[in-house]
Amino acid sequence: MLACRHGLGRRKFKLSTCSALLDHCLSLKGLNSLISAESIHALLIKLGFHRHTFLANRLLDLYSRSGAGSEDRSLLVFREIPIKNTFTYNTLLRALCKAGLFELALHLFDEMPERDSVSWNTMISGYATNGFVEKAFGFFYRMQEDGVKCSAFTFSIAASFVTSESHGKQVHAAVVRNGFVSSSTVAGNSLIDMYGRLGFVDYACHVFQGIEKPDIVSWNSVISVCGRSGHDDRALELFKLMLASAFLPDEFTISATINACAGLGDLAKGEQLLARCFALGCLSNSIVCSAVIDMYSKCGRVDDAVRLFEEAVVWDSALCNSMISGYARNGLVLEALKLFVLALREEIHPTEFTFSSILGSSSCFGLMEQGMQLHCYALKLGLEVEMIVSSALVDMYAKSGSVDSAMRLFSAMNAKDLVSWNAMIMGLAQNGQGVEALKMFRLLQAHGLQPDRITLVGALSACRYEGLVSEGIALFSSMVEKYGIARDLEHYASMVDMFGQAGMLREAMNFIKNIPFKPDESIWGLLLEACRIHGDLVLAEEVAEKALELEPHSSLPYVVLARLYGTRGRWESMARVQRTMKERGVMKVRGRSWISIKNEIFVIKSGQMLQTEGEAIYRMLRLLVLEMKHEGYIPEQHEAFENGDE
Q: For 627-644, write each residue's pLDDT tens digit.
A: 777 777 666 544 444 444
**Where are the strands (E) in 237-374, listed by range?**
none
Q: How many residues does the chain have?
A: 646
Using alpha carbons, select from 91, 90, 71 the residue that is nearest to residue 22.
Answer: 91
- Measured CA to CA in angstroms, residue 503 lies from 119, 523, 529 at distances of 64, 16, 11
Confidence class for position 222, pLDDT limits 50, 70, 90: very high
Task: Spell out the alpha helix ranges (H) of 65-164.
Answer: 71-80, 86-98, 102-111, 117-129, 133-145, 152-160
Distance CA 440, CA 462 (A): 11
Cβ–Cβ under 8 Å, residues 338 and 369: no
Helix (H, G, I), strand (E, B) or coil at 601: strand
Rounded CA separation 314/320 (Å): 11
One-letter amino acid for residue 193 of the chain: D
Q: What is the mean pLDDT of residues 442-451?
A: 86
- What mean pLDDT is reported for the chain? 80
How far is Cα 210 from Cα 432, in angstroms, rounded to an integer? 46
Report pLDDT for 493. Answer: 92
User: What local confidence, expressed as pLDDT, does residue 145 receive?
Assistant: 86
Specify if 59 maps to a domain.
yes
What span, in angstroms and rounded, lies between the C-alpha atoms of 496 and 513?
A: 11
Contacts 24+ apart (CB under 8 A), 68-72: 68/99, 69/34, 70/34, 70/37, 70/95, 71/95, 71/96, 71/99, 71/101
Q: Which of 263, 288, 294 is nearest to 273 (CA)?
A: 288
Q: Which pLDDT does position 608 carry in this prediction?
A: 57
- Most confident by average pLDDT, 48-57, 206-215, 326-335, 359-368: 206-215
Q: Is the pLDDT of residue 487 over 60?
A: yes
Q: Nearest to residue 165, comparing CAs of 417, 532, 498, 475?
A: 417
Give the Cα separation of 382 and 351 in Å (integer). Answer: 10
Q: Is residue 95 part of a domain?
A: yes
pLDDT tens per residue across span 400-430: 888 999 999 898 887 788 888 999 999 999 8
For residue 546, being part of any structural domain is answered with: yes
Rounded (5°) CA angle 228-234-235? 55
Domain total in the chain: 2
d(CA 563, CA 642): 9
Give yes or no for a contact between 152 and 186, defined as CB atoms under 8 angstroms apart.
Answer: yes
Residue 322 has pLDDT above 80, yes or no: yes
Which one-letter amino acid corresponds to residue 437? A
Among residues 500, 586, 509, 508, which one has the least CA distance to residue 551?
586
Question: Does position 366 have pLDDT exceeding 80, yes or no?
Answer: no
Q: Is the pLDDT of residue 611 over 80?
A: no
- Per the model's pLDDT, the better-predicted residue between 645 and 60 turns out to be 60
Q: Which amino acid, 287?
A: I
- HSE-up of residue 482 (Cα within 13 Å, Cβ side): 10
Residues 140 and 533: their CA atoms lie apart, in Å, by: 58
> What pLDDT was estimated at residue 31?
43
Tell me if 443 is assigned to some domain: no
How far apart are alpha carbons 231 and 13 in whole angstroms? 61
Domain annotation covers residue 103: yes
In this structure, are strands 592-597 and 600-605 parallel, antiparallel, or unpaired? antiparallel
SS3 595: strand
Burial status of residue 225 (CB atoms within 10 A of its CB: 0-12, 13-18, 19 or more): buried
d(CA 131, CA 305): 38
Query: For residues 81 and 285, which has the higher predicted lDDT (pLDDT)?
Result: 285
pLDDT of residue 2: 27
DSSP states of 138-201: HHHHHHHHTTPPPPHHHHHHHHHT--SHHHHHHHHHHHHHTT-TTT-HHHHHHHHHHHHHHT-H
Residue 441 CB partners (closer than 8 Å, separation 6+): 425, 451, 455, 458, 459, 462
CATH number of the domain within which 598 lies: 1.25.40
pLDDT value at position 645? 42
Answer for the pair 393, 363: CB distance below 8 angstroms, yes or no: no
CB 594 within 8 A of CB 367: yes
Q: Is residue 512 part of a domain?
A: no
- Please give the Cα distance from 223 to 425 (Å, whole number): 28
pLDDT tens across 2-45, in order? 233 334 344 554 666 666 666 666 565 544 555 566 666 666 66
Centre a 10 Å sphere on the Cβ of residue 6 and count the other Cβ atoms it contains. Answer: 10
Residues 534/503, Cβ–Cβ less than 8 Å: yes
Largest CA distance in the chain: 122
How far, in Å, CA of 400 to CA of 406, rounded? 10
Last residue of a domain, one of 58, 90, 114: 114
Last residue of a domain, one of 88, 114, 140: 114
Residue 603 scores a pLDDT above 70? no
Per the model's pLDDT, the better-predicted residue between 557 and 404 turns out to be 404
Distance CA 150, CA 170 (A): 14
Pair 472, 460: CB distance under 8 Å: yes
Is 479 part of a structural domain of the chain?
Answer: no
Residue 13: per-residue pLDDT: 44
Tell me which of 334 and 159 has the higher pLDDT. Answer: 159
pLDDT band at 305, cuts 50/70/90? Answer: very high
Q: What integer is the mean pLDDT of 601-621?
A: 62
| Final residue of a structural domain among 65, 95, 114 | 114
CB 158 within 8 A of CB 171: yes
Residue 600: helix, strand or coil by DSSP? strand
Tell me the residue type at 38.
E
Contact 473, 481 (CB under 8 A): no
Residue range(s) defining the domain that contains residue 602: 520-642
Residue 39 lies inside a defined structural domain of this protein? yes
Helix or strand or coil: residue 605? Answer: strand
In 3D, which of 530, 523, 535, 580 has the Cα closest to residue 555? 580
